[in-house]
């Protein structure tokens, strides 16, 4: 498990090289989604007084194994939106997380809210591919990219109308990317090298994030009290997937969680 991130990145580079040969980026413009105006997740996060949940659809993870391998992406993501989430995240890595770009496109057909493409983006091709598949937002992971790569990929995303979440795990990654042209900073409470989780990461970094970006906390959020506590530290949203997807009915789990948060906020 300790070297899983390096393994994921190596596999992703090979995967992207293969996809470039199979489907050149010149074909992306044929998608009905490529010309659409994207929904803004940043504005949704900043323009609400509610606690914003970004509910994630994923079938499995390297650290926890399989959750719901046969889950219906359309039914679950539509249920998330009906529950009142700010956005839906769709994990599209196939080898390690059991997802696909088809999952994202299926979600796009049924959703009227922002969709985050959650994957390990290492190449400009994947940014263009994200718009092709129907995403509104992409995730860039600071621990697998240099600051120059972050800036370059973010500029490509903005050029085609996508927003960008930059995921960080520690102060060093935050400081190295303070000037990055991104819309949202996501603090991941999961160490991607060891997969250990601690919300102390979000607590520790809360006062260091620049004011011009929205901020979200990701991973390891298990109860409404944690979410409310982090919202009081300035977090605008919370990316949650495993908490819901490992339940027999992810939509009910999400709906119940959000109601509990609302009740505690009163």
In angstroms, the Cα distances linking 158 to 15, 138, 165, 184, 206 are 24, 10, 12, 13, 25
Tens digit of pLDDT for each residue in 206-219?
999 998 999 999 98
- Pick from 116, 8, 122, 13: nearest CA to 63: 8
Q: What is the pLDDT of residues 155-182, one digit of tens each?
A: 999 999 999 999 999 999 999 999 999 9
Residue 1's pLDDT is 45
pLDDT tens for each residue of 14-56: 999 999 999 998 888 888 888 899 999 999 999 988 889 999 9
Q: What is the structure's pLDDT at 231? A: 94
CB 232 within 8 A of CB 265: no
- Residues in a beta bridge with 184: 165, 214
Residue 30 lies in a domain: no
In a domain, 260, yes or no: yes
Cβ neighbours, 10 Å, residue 204: 13
74-122 tens-digit pLDDT? 999 999 999 999 999 999 999 999 999 999 999 999 999 999 999 999 9
In a domain, 32, yes or no: no
Query: Looking at residue 35, what is its pLDDT?
Result: 87
Residues 90/73, Cβ–Cβ less than 8 Å? yes
Q: Are 93 and 99 in contact (CB under 8 A)?
A: yes
Confidence (pLDDT) at 143: 93
Residue 243 lies in a domain: yes
User: Which domain, by its residues, includes 158?
Assistant: 4-23+39-265
Distance (Å, rounded) from C-alpha 78 to C-alpha 111?
Answer: 6
> Is residue 217 in a domain?
yes
pLDDT for residue 150 is more than 90: yes
Residue 182 CB burial class (10 angstroms; 0-12, 13-18, ≥19): buried
Let me know if residue 33 belongs to a domain: no
As for how many domains the chain has, the answer is 1
CA-based nearest residue to 134, from 112, 104, 91, 160:
104
- Would you say residue 193 has pLDDT above 80? no
What CATH number does the domain containing 142 carry? 3.20.20.70
């Amino acid at each position: 498990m300790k070297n899983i991130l390096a393994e994921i990145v190596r596999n992703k580079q090979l995967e992207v090289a293969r996809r470039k040969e199979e489907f050149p980026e010149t074909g992306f413009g044929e998608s009905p989604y490529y010309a659409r105006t994207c929904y803004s997740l940043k504005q949704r996060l900043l323009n609400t007084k509610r606690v914003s949940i970004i509910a994630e659809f994923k079938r499995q993870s390297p650290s926890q194994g399989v959750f719901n391998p046969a889950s219906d992406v359309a039914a679950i993501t539509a249920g998330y939106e009906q529950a009142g989430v700010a956005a839906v995240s769709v994990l599209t890595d196939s080898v390690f997380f059991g997802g696909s770009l088809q999952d994202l496109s299926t979600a796009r057909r049924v959703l009227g809210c922002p969709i985050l493409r959650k994957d390990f983006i290492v190449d400009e091709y994947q940014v263009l591919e994200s718009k092709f598949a129907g995403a509104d937002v992409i995730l860039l992971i600071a621990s697998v990219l240099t600051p120059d790569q972050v800036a370059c990929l973010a500029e490509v995303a903005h050029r085609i109308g996508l927003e960008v979440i930059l995921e960080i795990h520690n102060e060093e990654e935050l400081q190295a990317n303070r000037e990055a042209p991104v819309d949202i900073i996501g603090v991941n409470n999961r160490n991607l090298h060891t997969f250990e989780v601690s919300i102390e990461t979000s607590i520790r970094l809360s006062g260091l994030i620049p004011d011009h970006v929205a901020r979200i906390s990701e991973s390891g959020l298990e109860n409404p009290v944690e979410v409310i506590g982090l919202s009081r530290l300035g977090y605008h949203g919370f990316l949650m997937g495993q908490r819901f997807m490992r339940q027999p009915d992810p939509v009910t789990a999400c709906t119940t969680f959000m109601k509990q948060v609302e009740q505690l906020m009163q």
